[in-house]
Amino acid sequence: MPTPTHTLWICDSARPQIHGRGCCNDRGSERLLEHFAAALERKGLSDRIAVIPSSCMANCPMGISVKVTPGRVCYSQVQLEDVDEIIERHLLGGEPVTRLLTQEIASD
pLDDT of residue 71: 87
How far apart CA 25 and CA 64 sit, in angstroms, is 8
Residues of the chain with pLDDT under 50: 104-108
The architecture of the domain spanning 6-104 is: 3-Layer(aba) Sandwich (3.40)
**Model confidence, pTM:** 0.84
Report pLDDT digits (tens) over 82-108: 999 999 999 999 999 999 998 544 333
Query: Domain residues of the chain, as ranges?
Result: 6-104
Chain centroid to Cα 43, Å, comes to 17
How far out from the chain centre does Cα 85 lie? 12
The answer to whether the CB of 32 falls within 8 A of the CB of 80 is yes
